[in-house]
Amino acid sequence: MPDSAPLSEPTIYRDNAIERSFIALFSYVIARNIGVKHYKPGYDGFVDLSKKIVRGRSATEQQAVVGKVLRSLVPAPVLWFIRAAFSPTQLVCELNAWFATKMFVWLVGACEVETTTVTDETGETREQASCVKIKKCRYLEAIHCVGACVNICKVPTQEFFTQEFGIPVTMTPNFEDYSCEMVFGQRATPIEEDESIQNQPCLVDRCSMAIATAESCPSLGDVTQSDTPTVVKP
C-alpha cells in the first residue's frame, strides 16, 4: 500500500506478490502486442511500455493498441456471458465499483467507493454507490502525460467496459491533483465533445514526452509523435 503524500512528493508503493504478478502480466501482454522483447521489470517497466505505445502512434492508434491488450486479457466467451447475463442495473454497477477498488489498486493506487448521481440511457437519474474515487492516480503520477492518461487509460477503459461488458463507464481525471473519478453506469461523453479534455493544456513542466512549442498535449490528437521527440524535462 502507498504512503500518503502530497502531489509535490512522489508516492511510495510497496507492491505485494499478487500486485507484482498483475504488473508482470499486463507488461508481458503489452510488450507482445507492440513487438517489444526486452523491457524493464516492475511498474517502471509498465510505464516505459506505455510510453512506447505513445511514441510514433496517433491517439486513435494508441487507443486501438490498448483495446486489443484489454480484450486479450479476458476470453471472448467470458465477455459474451457477462454481456448476456448482466445489464447495468444499480446493483451490477455498485458491485463493479467495489470490485474495482479491490483489483486495480496496483494500477491506480488507493481508491474508495462513493455515492454519486448517474443518468441512465432513458434519461432517468438515480443515486448509487458506483463512483470509484481514485485519490491520486499512480499511473498519471508516474507518466505525467495528458495524452497517455486519455489514450492509454481513459478512452480504452470506457470503451472496453461499455462495449465488451455492456456496462457504461465514465472516467474523469483531474490533472491538478492527479485524482480521478470512475463512475459505473454513466455513459461517457465522446472525447471530441469533452471540453475538460480538449481544453486541457500540456503538462509541459512535468512530462518527459512534452514538446516545448506545444500548447496542448502532442499525443492527445491524431498527429503522430516521432520516436525521438524534442522534450522538456522538469
Question: Which SS3 state, helix, strand or coil, does residue 155 take?
Answer: helix
In a domain, 168, yes or no: yes
**Among 175, 137, 145, which Cα is nearest to 59's?**
145
* Predicted confidence (pLDDT) per residue in 59-75, tens digit: 999 999 999 999 999 88
* Predicted confidence (pLDDT) per residue in 125-134, tens digit: 999 999 999 9
In a domain, 157, yes or no: yes
Q: Which cell is 29 given? A: 501482454
pTM of the model: 0.85
CB 70 within 8 A of CB 61: no
In a domain, 145, yes or no: yes
Q: Which cell is 142 given? A: 508516474
Could you give the count of Cα atoms lying within 13 Å of 23 in the half-sphere of its Cβ?
A: 25
pLDDT score recorded for residue 10: 81
Q: Which cell is 96 given? A: 463493479
- What's the structural domain count of the chain? 1
Domain with residue 142: its CATH number is 3.30.1380
In a domain, 212, yes or no: no
Query: 30-43: b or e for each residue (b if 16 or more CB lie within 10 Å)?
Result: bbeebeeeebeeeb
Domain extent for 169: 17-198
